Copies of this chain bind each other. A is one copy, B any other.
Amino acid sequence: MSGLRLIKSVQEMSSLSENFRKDGKRIVLIPTLGYFHEGHVSMMKMGRSLGDKVVVSIFVNPLQFDKKEVYYMYPQDLERDQRIAEEAGVDILFIPSSVEMYPSGFQTYVEVEELSKHLCGVSRPWLFKGIATVVLKLFNIVRPHVSIFGLKDYQQYLIVKRMVKDLNLDVEVVAHPIVREPDGLAMSSRNIYLSPQERESALSLYRAILKAKELLSSGVRDVSQLKKELLDFIQSHPYTRVEYVEFVDPETLESVREVKGPTLLALAVYVGLARIIDNAILE
């Protein structure tokens, strides 16, 4: 174990990155909200294989939370996170403060306008503006050659890729596949909010994906019919409240009426108080 370094100062992080670059090191950044699970560990190991210095940021970005939402409640356990990161071979945990990230007078935002309007952006119009802004800041501070984003947040991944292209950023954006529990539930720090009964109901998202694949194999391609079946299926589980079940183009996120080419099935469902999302590309 080479030893994990904990960095809290933006200035210190950017100087360190500059030195890494001068030494010809390839920097990998994995932006996270902390409270690591196996999905994060898998991303860290992927990071190890993609570069010389793996930086994992933990920042519960106030811009991407609704004030009513769980910003202050977002689960945290820094000691555990440190241990996990060290074991996974991470070089640096970068944990900036909100005050340093958004000092008084802060007023500059970046927005990937079209892609942000769909799916999670419908109920949370501020969400992806907050994410794009913080990711751009993290890119400018850490100056990574590569950055890894998990596909559970497919829309986020697509938006970051578009931002990188549109703003001529010199970062390679790499996708990491969704990591699931043995029974299929997509891993998420938010799963901790689920009671045992709710956790059972949360499985309905993954099962709905399997069901969609079955329906497709049996020849059902009409999206309104597919949606109806999946909605009925999910709503038959207690504690669920569906936010959306959408079939969209995986590049533009625009709704499709029929599943012809590759199609993204994306789901957001409240299970009790937890908002659970999942997705899959259907071929």
Contact = CB atoms under 8 A, between A and B. Distances in A.
Interface string A229-264: 000000000000000000000000000000000000
Q: What's the number of copies of this chain in the assembled complex?
A: 2
B170 A140 contact: yes
Interface stretch (A67-75, A107-115, A217-225): A107-115
Most chain-B CB neighbours within 10 Å: which of A107, A113, A136, A163? A107
A14 B168 contact: yes
Contact of A14 (B105, B107, B167, B170): B170
Q: What range describes how many residues of A lie at the interface?
A: 20 to 34
Contacts of A168: 10, 14, 137, 140-141
Contact of A162 (B108, B112, B136): B108
Given A141-B168, A168-B14, A170-B14, A132 B111 contact: no
A169 interface: yes
B167 A108 contact: yes
> Chain A: interface secondary structure?
mixed
A131 to B, nearest CB: 13
A31 to B, nearest CB: 14
Interface string A1-21: 000000000100010000000
Most chain-B CB neighbours within 10 Å: which of A110, A111, A169? A110
A8 to B, nearest CB: 15
B166 A108 contact: yes
B166 A106 contact: yes
Nearest to A252: B105
Nearest to A251: B105
A96 B105 CA distance: 33
A259 to B, nearest CB: 23
B114 A140 contact: no
Contacts of A112: 107-108
Would you list the 5 A-B pairs with minimal beta carbon distance, nearest first?
A: A108-B166, A140-B168, A107-B114, A110-B110, A107-B113
